[in-house]
Structure 1
Amino acid sequence: MSTTKYTPDHEWIRLEGDVATVGITHHAQDALGDVVFVELPEMGKHYAAKSVAGVVESVKAAADVYMPASGTIVEVNEALRADPALANTDPLGAGWFFKVRLDNPAELDALLDETAYAAHAAASH
């Protein structure tokens, strides 16, 4: 079973077992416009929650990608590096950014569920 949570900074995190996949939300890619470059985190590196783990650049702006919960990077999406537009076309699927082995999955309890995130995203328009 997988659980998806959202951050106020428009990242999503989907936990499956003890590894979580992280990407940016539809709202984020919508606000950014056409994504032209992504900087992905370093494999094997540990990141604290809320630290900058990557960058997404679009024709309009650059934005940091924050680590939703603390953990160690176990995989990065090389397909996204090769084709950054995947962050626009399939942000919740093929456009994922990285996978992280969480230090403490309970940290996800502090994040937003889909309903709370939808309200947050609507309010930030």
Structure 2
Amino acid sequence: MDCWSDMKNNRVQPVLRMIVWEDCSNAHVTFENPTSDSEKPLAYIIENDLMLSSFFKRISSSSNVTFKSETTVKSVKLADSLSDLVTVHFGDSSTVTAKLLVTVEFDQLWAFEHCSGIMIKNPL
């Protein structure tokens, strides 16, 4: 979705080196790019609101993504094989069938397992 192009020039901080230590001893592990190339950081620290705004900007301009919010999932029929499609029935009586189902609400395990927040890519 090319969200990175929206984010890279805003409030993004590269992580060039990371030290992780165990709290009960002096043991630690250091992660860093073996070439010390600042153009290839280990990771980036990005503000959540920046990621969300970039993501929603791209979703709203995408013709092959349906974003559902402010509704509940009544049922999900998962694909029996890779060639089958997923069907989601929502509380507002709408139905979406897709090749790929991605959940985006992870506050509770139930929400993840039962697809409470839905983004559907490549709907039919």
* TM > 0.5 fold call: no
Q: Could you tell me the TM-score, scaled by structure 1's length?
A: 0.29
Highest RCO, 1 vs 2 (Cα 8 Å, sep ≥ 6): 1
Report which of the two has the higher share of helix: 1
Higher CA-based Rg: 2
